[in-house]
Chain A
Amino acid sequence: MDCPAITAEAASKARTAILLVWTVWLAMGWAVKGQELTCPAEPASGKENWENLVDAGRKLRDQSRYPAAEQCLNAAVSLTREFGDTDPRYAQSLEALAGVVQIRGRYQEAESLFQKGLAIWQVYPGKDRLDLAVGLSNLANLLRMEGQYPEAERLQLQALDIVHAALPPDSPVVLQTLYGLGAIQALRGQCAQAVVTFQNVLATQRKVLGPDDPMVAKTLSDLGHVYYTTGRYQEAESSYRRAIAIREKALGPNDVEVGITLNKLAALQRVVGFASEAERLWKRAVRIWETALGSDHPLLAAGLNNLGMLYNDQGKISEAEDLFRRALKIQEKSLGAEHPDVARVLNNLAGVYFQRGQYREAEDTYRRVLAIHEKKLGPEHYDVARTWNNLAKTYVAQSRYADAEFLYIRALALQEKTLGRTHPEVATTLVNYADLLNKTRRKAEARKLVSRARQIELQSGREQAREYTVSFPDLRK
Chain B
Amino acid sequence: MKFRLVIRRKLRRGALPLGLQASGTRAAHARQYIRAKVQPFPLGA
Which residues of chain B in 1-45 are interfacial with respect to chain A, using CB atoms and an 8 Å cutoff? 4, 7-8, 11-22, 26-27, 29-30, 32-45
Chain A contact residues: over half helix, strand or loop, or mixed?
helix
Whether A457 pairs with B44 at a CB distance below 8 angstroms is no
Q: Which residues of B contact A312 (CB under 8 A)?
A: 40
Does A468 lie within 8 Å of B35, measured CB to CB? yes
Bound CA–CA A475/B20 (angstroms): 16
A161 in the interface (beta carbon within 8 A): no
* CB-CB nearest in chain B for A463: B33
A431 interface residue per 8 A CB criterion: yes
Asked if residues A450 and B7 are in contact (CB atoms below 8 Å), the reply is no
- Interface pair B14/A354, CB less than 8 Å apart: yes
For the complex, what is the distance from the CA of A50 to the CA of B10, rounded to whole Å?
A: 66
Is there contact, CB below 8 Å, between A344 and B30?
A: no
- CB of B21 within 8 A of CB of A470, answer yes
A2 CB–B CB distance under 8 Å:
no
Q: Chain B residues near A344: list those with CB within 8 A.
A: 41-43
**Interfacial chain A residues near B18, Cβ < 8 Å:** 313-315, 466-467
Taking a contact as CB atoms under 8 Å apart, the answer to whether A348 and B41 are in contact is yes
- Whether B11 contacts A435 by the Cβ 8 Å rule is yes
Q: Which of chain B's residues has its CB closest to A351's CB?
A: B38
Inter-subunit contact B7/A341 (CB<8 Å): no
Q: Which residues of A contact B12 (CB under 8 A)?
A: 397
Q: Which of B30, B34, B42 counts the most chain A CB atoms within 10 A?
A: B34
Contact A472 B33 (CB under 8 A): yes
Bound form: Cα–Cα A397–B38 in Å:
11
Does A9 count as interface, using CB distance less than 8 angstroms?
no
CB < 8 Å: which of B8, B26, B29, B33 contacts A469?
B33
User: Is A393 close to B, CB under 8 A?
Assistant: yes
Contact B35 A305 (CB under 8 A): no
Docked CA distance A296–B11 (Å): 37
The answer to whether A267 and B42 touch (CB under 8 A), given A393-B14, A432-B36, A476-B30, is yes
- Please tell me if A188 contacts chain B, counting CB pairs below 8 Å: no
Contact B13 A450 (CB under 8 A): no
SS of B interface (majority): loop
Please name the residue on chain B nearest to A434 by beta carbon.
B34
User: Does A223 sit within 8 A of B, measured CB to CB?
Assistant: no
Q: Which residue of B lies closest to A228 (CB)?
A: B45
> Which of A299, A357, A435, A447 is within 8 Å of B44, CB to CB?
A299
B15–A450 touching, CB < 8 Å: no
Q: Digit string of A457-473 for contact with B (CB within 8 Å is 1, else 0)? A: 10000000011111111
The reply to whether A266 and B40 contact each other, CB–CB distance below 8 Å, is no
Q: Nearest Cβ in chain B — how far from A29, in angstroms?
A: 39
With A263-B45, A432-B36, A434-B34 as contacts: A470 and B7 at CB distance below 8 Å: yes
* Contact status of A264 and B44, CB under 8 A, knowing A470-B7, A473-B22: yes
Q: Do A473 and B30 form a contact, CB below 8 Å, given A263-B45, A301-B43?
A: yes
A427 within 8 A of B: yes
Contact with B along A240-279 (1 / 0, CB 8 A): 0000000000000000000010011011101000000000
The chain A residue sitting closest to B36, CB to CB, is: A435
Q: Does A73 sit within 8 A of B, measured CB to CB? A: no
Q: Which residue of A lies closest to B7 (CB)?
A: A470
Chain A residues near B37 (CB-CB < 8 A): 393, 432, 468
Whole-angstrom distance between the alpha carbons of A344 and B45 in the complex? 12
Contact A450 B33 (CB under 8 A): yes
Give chain B nearest CB distance to A434 CB in angstroms. 6
Q: Which residues of B contact A (CB under 8 A)?
A: 4, 7-8, 11-22, 26-27, 29-30, 32-45
10 contacts between A and B (CB under 8 A): A264-B44, A305-B43, A344-B43, A348-B41, A362-B38, A431-B35, A435-B11, A471-B26, A472-B36, A476-B29
Ranked 4 nearest A-B pairs via Cβ: A267-B45, A302-B43, A344-B41, A471-B30
Which A residues are within 8 Å of any B CB, using their own CB? 225, 228, 260, 263-264, 266-268, 270, 299, 301-302, 305-306, 309, 312-315, 327, 341, 344-345, 347-348, 350-351, 354-355, 357, 362, 383, 386, 389-390, 393-394, 397, 425, 427-428, 431-432, 434-435, 447, 450-451, 453-454, 457, 466-476
